[in-house]
Structure 1
Amino acid sequence: AQRNGKWILNSGGSGTATFGNVVKDQWVHLAVSVKDGKGELWLNGKKTGIFNPTKAYAPNFSIGIADEDKDAFHGEIYEVRYSTFDSKNFNPETDFLIDYKKKKEQDKKRLSDRKSLIQEIEKPGLGKELVTVLPETVQENDWLISPINDPCRLLVQKSDDGLSSTMQLNNGLVSRTFYISENIACVGYKNLTNNAEYIRAVKPEARIMLDSIWYEVGGLNGQPERSYLLDSWYPTLEADEQAFVLAGVETGAPLMRYPWNPKFNSIQTDWPAKGLRVVMTYKPTAMMSRLKDIEVHVNYEIYQGLPIIAKWIEVLNKGVKEMRLNQIECEVLAVNQDQVNRIHVESDFSFALVNANIKGSALMHYQGDKMEPYQAGESTTLWTVEKEYNTWASHNQAEDNFLQFPHRNLLISRLPMGPDVFVSKDKPFKSYLTFELLQDSDDRERKSLGHRRMYKRLAPQTTESLIAGGITSHDEEKLKNFIDQMSELGMERLDIQAWPGISHDNLDEKYIALWKNIAGYAKDRGIVMGGYELQIASRGRGKDVDCIHPKTGKPGSIFGQSVCIASSWKDTYYNKMWEFFDKTGLMTYNMDGPYHGDPCASTVHEYHHGLYDSQWEQWKTQVEVIHELQRRNMYIPIPDWYFLNGQCSTGMGYREASANLTPEQQMLLGRQYIYDGTWHKLPTMGWMTLQLVGFYTNDPRVGLEPLSENLVRYEQQLVQFLSSGCTLTIRGNRLYDTPETKEMLLKWINWFKKHREILTSEIIHVSRPNGRDLDCMLHVNPFIEEKGMVVIFNPTDREIIKEVKLPLYYTGLKKNVKITSEDNSVKTYNLNEKSELLLPVKIKPRGTAWFGRA
């Protein structure tokens, strides 16, 4: 019978067993044999399983009729044969109802193709190295404090028989090993820092659903136990004849995912990051005639000095008939139970909805307790239970229930919905990218620091740093006065804030002339500018182009009423926006509500055909916009999570209403935002705003006007935000009102610029501010001259004298350190064996002090 896309045998009263996959429009040979009381299953002449025979045999068997109503057969039967043999005379290589001559020819061709493939893989190529034995080395240096310059290589172990081979991606920090025989499978994935092995069982390299049928890409079957993997099992593993088979391996340099040039005080780094790309090409087998024109590419990238591997797939159609790509799984890993929490997996398919969960997030709130696929939820990364994971190394049923089955050790990277696109000769498909960071510890700070280093190297625009001034006026005189003050203070970015912000599709000549004049005036003073606009999320643009709610079939969205950016709206709006940028010279993209993830159930919109491709097509549109902005060398602050596609910054972690709290409240809350937000962000990835005037109110208790009369509070907030290294905007109608106010601003802005490289480096989380004792911001960077700086805050009304313990391991400093402070004094302190410093400090009430490496 057939069940869930599998051929099964129902052995009456003795259970069911599986032959293998059903393939649409494809003849298949199934055989059942019983010898010495043991049952065996055969698929196309190959043994694929065993079963328990019945005690007696009926004089017939049935197809499509079984004890269970859900078993059914859909198809045609060409021929059936029932045979008995002398137990010694049965030979599966001659006695099945198969065209053995044709089968031998096919087997001969497969062996020839495999030999040619392995010979091709062994040929020289970029980053490729032929070895007799794969290395078993452990990395002795800590990549978080020492540069790792090991080359990125594809090591190919020379084949002994010409029919099987092993190859390994290796950069000295991580290795990924593949075994090649009838097909290819990942058999090893190691963190070379602690020699931890991540793979417990072989899986396909990817899975794709074409025209509603799932197909595996690569992979080998027959592993007897899925809780561990033995090298001795490799030769017994077999390919699935209905899986795409490896046809070629090529190497090259990593691709530039989007245009980017170092700018706006960013780090100087290689872009794209140094490393190696490996492209594995897969083609359908002879048994997959329906897919003869389909080709799948599985891409890997490995980077120098990072324990990270990136992966994505491409689907090409070289035929005349388009095929529907319903779903994809770009990564399938059976992970060892002890390493589940030591691999960080995320993808560049990322936005507000996809990063939310059923409990809500800063932007999303769910009604009810059911999450639809289009609500995504916790991104493309899925940890789930593997159905085939029937190991003895598991808890009993009571423990499983109590522990909610802890063995969720199958990692899948997939789109929550779709892509549901049509693939043709003119429209190849490229998936999102999955990034896998192998971690060597359960320590929160260490894991977090590794994550932040990933962004620093693989999304370097996140290190761009500009001190901004924000104003809401459209008055030319007020704007130029504000720019003059910014210029005198050395500030670098002007933001025309809400409301009214700027309308980027307004091409009225007078409107264009105003902003061209202002942008030019700012540019002459070394300032780039842009303006706020609520662009997509929660902003409808008309019933013909707005998102259609999946449940009602009427205009409506999860996040307010949003326009669908896979409608014709994108042609009119974005073309006008690019023209606006060209004519005015604006250089920042200050959009509120970029594409947050709203699905659209419309079937008439220009650039998507229904619900299931709506998220994918809208995400692609937003990504294309961000890539073009980077090509134009613009700065991109948006409240979302497109960092792996070119975004520069998002909110550090605040609610808009908090802007209307008193300055005293904003002080401590601001430091808590920074403490919490920098666990997963570099300082420059999060913006904060110093409010000189109220945001939604004119209450004098909220702002700092008159500035000169609130100079102490102004300075306290300024120091706090500058010392965090965050992306700071000072918002008001003016920046200073007296020479004393100006002098204070100049002092701290110049201090920030002098120490910018360390202040925008990663924060080590010493203690969360609580208002009762000292708290601090400790920046570390072992790769620059100024390797550390700490800024200490006293939120209390009393002077505090004490020793502060500072963990300096991630500065790379050992034994002793010379410390300087605001008074330019220099003292030498000894570090303990953990590179911890006991720093004696004396901080006045509500005071601040900074200490750096001399």
Structure 2
Amino acid sequence: MMWNKQLHELARDQHQAGPGTNADWLVNPEPYKAGIYRGEHEDEIVISNGLISRTWRLQPNAATVAFDNLMTRETIIRGVKPEATVRLLGVDFPVGGLAGQPDYAYLLPEWVDSLTSDPRAFRCTGFDTGRTKERFPWMRNQYSPVSPWPAPGVSLVFHYEPSVEGLWGVSINVHYELYDGIPLLSKWLEISNHGSNQVKLESFTSELLAVVEYESPVETPDRWEYPNLHVESDYSFQGMSQKKANRTTHWVPDPDYKTQINYDRLTPVLLESRPPLGPDQWLEPGETFETFRTFILVHDSTDRERKGLAQRRMYRTLAPWVTENPIFMHVRSMDPAVIREAIDQCAEVGFEMVILSFGSGLDMEEEDPAYIAALKELADYAHSKGITIGGYSLLASRTISPEHDVVNPNGAYYVHSPCLESHWGQDYFRKLRAFFEQTGFDVLEHDGSYPGDICESTDHPGHTGRSDSQWRQWKRISEFYKWCRGQGVYLNVPDWYFLTGSNKAGMGYREVNFALPRERQVILSRQNIYDGTWEKAPSMGWMFVPLTEYQGGGPESTLEPLSEHLDAYDAHLMNNFTAGVQAVYRGLRLYDTEETKRVVRRWVDFYKRYRAILDSDVIHVRRPSGRDIDGFLHVNPALQQKGMAFVFNPLDQEIRQTLELPLYYTGLSGTAMIREQEGELRSCELDRNHRVQVQLSLAPKSMTWFVIEAP
């Protein structure tokens, strides 16, 4: 076959027996480089990085015949499925795959030799290998990390042609990428029409895996436990958490698995990655359609912290812009004098960004030249002070008119919402692009992002009806966010658009809680941060500080006058900056007296001094309860300061206590050098579980910290 020479030129896979190093990839990822190899069989190709491997048999058709967790020496799949399916001409067609497996409880290598190709399946005609490529441009700025882009790794592309006469001219490329230093791969399809007639792609499933079951109950439970994989795609919306926003990951029963223990045969062990609707797209002659990308992260543990660390590493790998973490203020006024004073105060105390907040009156849809010119003057002034500036725009959670709103008998997610592919929606995004190009603004806080609404209008110019409306609207907003990323526009988006370019979403706070009395806000904020950093890195979420009244809380909930509530202001600054979490400081000013200014400046200076470690991963030590100490630990084995722990006393009395700190993810073993606050470093022995005990003596309503370094 045409690929025999390509296979022969590849080295044999060296990773089949497990990783060749004892290094923990979460502590030291360097040994685990992705590569493409020949398999044990003459017609097999393998992609592996020492952490995971995936193997394809190429004859009589290309199909995944092994997918292995090399960290635990376990197989991930129990059977062979098509590499994808597409619905064309009203019929579902497999892409690749092999048929004839006698039992789907497990897969023996000797069975693979007897498997056959489905005569209707797209057949593999060849493959290409290469390196990973960027999904879209990323313009770095002063907040950007040194992380590589694209994420280093290898790519493998299989080429498929139809076996059915009516599909001549349609070709499908199935793309895979495997990344260095992390058990993570991605997959997507390209469907091309090389014929002379248009072809409709009604639906697709871009990944099908017959995964080994996580549990095998005889009776059908009320709630299933899914296999220990994290799967998501960049086709995500309607949620500030990944679980809510995940629209494409489906765990369903496998009809081929006849010997499963569950009597109803409902064990959800078939992984399908597919859109919930559509996309129902016409491919014109010469046109290529690209699907969303599916990302599969293989876990090596069921420990919550370790799984969270792996997920956070995934986002830093696939979307390194999420580590950009500027300090920002929300200004709730459009008075130029107020805005300039806020810019001046930000520059004075070390804040780095001003956002013209919701309720300020900013209108990014306004095209009056005088209005644009006035905003450009403000942007130029902010830039002259070293301050990045931007503003707020509301999208989905409002009504425009019956002509432009979503048409859906079940209603929009936000009750009212414009369709992004109506005339108004298309014009809205044109106006936003022009606004940033003409004003020089650098930040967009985009509220009510597209929430996945389905629109049944047949009059909107950007979609034909219900079945293509969701795909078209997601495409509209995701392409805009990618454009912003390429222009260096910072994106605060209260939705899960990280993989398509956004920088930050809500940490998980409840807005009305900031109308509560000040002392309750402090504990709740620390709980929100603690809970919000299981799946998000600190830089991925924002918190909130109501400098002026918010949600009708009245004087008991607000910080203004700032100098009169300096203890609460200080507590908010402490909560956020120690966690490496930036907050929306919403009001008209950052300080009102020199004493207030000194407090703000002290915490900003503290954060900037320890910025690298404070922006690093959080290890959860003890959740805030208001009844005892609480605390967390930042870790980063790549830094000089390997860890930094913070412990809080919420009580009105002194606490003396011994606290155990888990230092495994600092990369230290045996001994650590630890100092409390700015004291002297002292040598501390770690136990066999990489833990160390520290003695606490905490005054009422106080906090202390510990810096951990290598000997």
Shorter-chain TM-score category?
over 0.9
Offset of residue 180 of structure 1:
1.8
Q: Distance in 2 between matches of 1:800 and 1:709?
A: 28
* 1:510 partner SS: helix
Of 746, 757, 780, 2:635 maps to 780
Q: Distance in 2 between matches of 1:460 and 1:647?
A: 10
Q: Distance in 2 between matches of 1:637 and 1:325?
A: 34
Aligned match of 1:463: 323
* 2:482 partner SS: helix
Which gives a bigger RCO, structure 1 or 2 (Cα 8 Å, sep 6+)?
2
Q: Distance in 2 between matches of 1:145 and 1:688?
A: 29
Q: Distance in 2 between matches of 1:797 and 1:219?
A: 66
Of 176, 183, 188, 1:300 maps to 176
* 2:17 partner SS: coil
Q: CA deviation digits over 1:6-62, x for unaligned, max 9?
A: xxxxxxxxxxxxxxxxxxxxxxxxxxxxxxxxxxxxxxxxxxxxxxxxxxxxxxxxx
Aligned match of 2:19: 138
Offset of residue 121 of structure 1:
3.3
Identity %: 38
Aligned match of 1:383: 251
**Within 5 A, what are the aligned runs for 1:251-290?**
251-285=129-163, 288-290=164-166
* 1:246 partner SS: strand
Matched, 1:310 2:186: yes
Of 544, 556, 567, 2:422 maps to 567
**Within 5 A, what are the aligned runs for 1:224-235?**
224-235=102-113
Counterpart residue identity of residue 106, structure 2: Y
Of 197, 210, 214, 2:88 maps to 210
| TM-score, normalised by the number of residues in structure 2 | 0.95
Q: CA deviation digits over 1:459-478, x for unaligned, max 9?
A: 10110011111111111111
Q: Distance in 1 between matches of 2:213 and 2:437?
A: 54
Aligned match of 1:185: 63
Q: Distance in 1 between matches of 2:239 and 2:348?
A: 42
Larger radius of gyration: 1
* 1:613 partner SS: helix
Offset of residue 214 of structure 1:
0.3
Name which of structure 1's ranges 701-710 and 313-322 shifts more when overlaid on structure 2. 701-710
Aligned match of 1:394: 261
Change (3 A) 1:356 1:730: closer
Alpha-carbon contact 2:670-2:686 (below 8 Å) kept: yes
Q: CA deviation digits over 1:254-300, x for unaligned, max 9?
A: 12112114434332111001101111000112xx0001111011000
* 1:409 partner SS: strand
Aligned match of 1:408: 268
Aligned match of 2:220: none
Of 682, 691, 695, 2:550 maps to 695
**Within 5 A, what are the aligned runs for 1:652-671?**
652-671=507-526
Name which of structure 1's ranges 177-186 and 688-697 shifts more when overlaid on structure 2. 688-697
Q: Distance in 1 between matches of 2:575 and 2:290?
A: 44
Alpha-carbon contact 1:341-1:442 (below 8 Å) kept: no
* 1:688 partner SS: strand
Of 603, 608, 620, 2:475 maps to 620
* 1:839 partner SS: strand
Aligned Cα RMSD in Å? Answer: 1.9
Q: CA deviation digits over 1:622-649, x for unaligned, max 9?
A: 1110011011111100110011111100
Alpha-carbon contact 1:353-1:597 (below 8 Å) kept: no
Aligned match of 2:36: 154
Aligned match of 1:194: 72
Q: Distance in 2 between matches of 1:321 and 1:732?
A: 59
Q: CA deviation digits over 1:320-364, x for unaligned, max 9?
A: 11111111101000011249532110111000069798xxx6xxx
Alpha-carbon contact 2:200-2:282 (below 8 Å) kept: yes
Counterpart residue identity of residue 333, structure 1: L
Change (3 A) 1:122 1:531: same
Change (3 A) 1:261 1:811: farther
Q: Which runs of 5+ in 2 are unaligned?
A: 216-225
Alpha-carbon contact 1:466-1:728 (below 8 Å) kept: no
Q: Distance in 2 between matches of 1:843 and 1:341?
A: 44
Q: CA deviation digits over 1:76-112, x for unaligned, max 9?
A: xxxxxxxxxxxxxxxxxxxxxxxxxxxxxxxxxxxxx
Q: Distance in 1 between matches of 2:317 and 2:33?
A: 16
Offset of residue 655 of structure 1:
1.9
Aligned match of 2:219: none
**Within 5 A, what are the aligned runs for 1:490-569?**
490-535=350-395, 537-550=396-409, 556-569=411-424
Change (3 A) 1:159 1:449: closer
* 1:538 partner SS: coil
Offset of residue 515 of structure 1:
1.3
Q: CA deviation digits over 1:617-676, x for unaligned, max 9?
A: 100111110011011111100110011111100010112212211221111110111111
* 2:321 partner SS: helix
Aligned match of 2:592: 737
* 1:608 partner SS: coil
Alpha-carbon contact 1:148-1:305 (below 8 Å) kept: yes
Q: CA deviation digits over 1:496-534, x for unaligned, max 9?
A: 112134211102133212211211111111111111121
Q: Distance in 1 between matches of 2:436 and 2:14?
A: 57
Change (3 A) 1:558 1:707: closer
Matched, 1:852 2:711: no
Q: Distance in 1 between matches of 2:236 and 2:14?
A: 40
Of 185, 189, 195, 1:319 maps to 195
Q: Distance in 2 between matches of 1:123 and 1:252?
A: 16
Q: Distance in 1 between matches of 2:702 and 2:40?
A: 66
Q: Distance in 2 between matches of 1:221 and 1:785?
A: 54
Q: CA deviation digits over 1:415-441, x for unaligned, max 9?
A: 111111112224311000000001111
Offset of residue 133 of structure 1:
8.0
Aligned match of 1:427: 287
Matched, 1:236 2:76: no
Counterpart residue identity of residue 349, structure 1: Y
Change (3 A) 1:133 1:456: closer
Q: Alignment length, in residue pairs?
A: 698
Q: Distance in 1 between matches of 2:101 and 2:519?
A: 63
Q: Distance in 1 between matches of 2:3 and 2:39?
A: 10
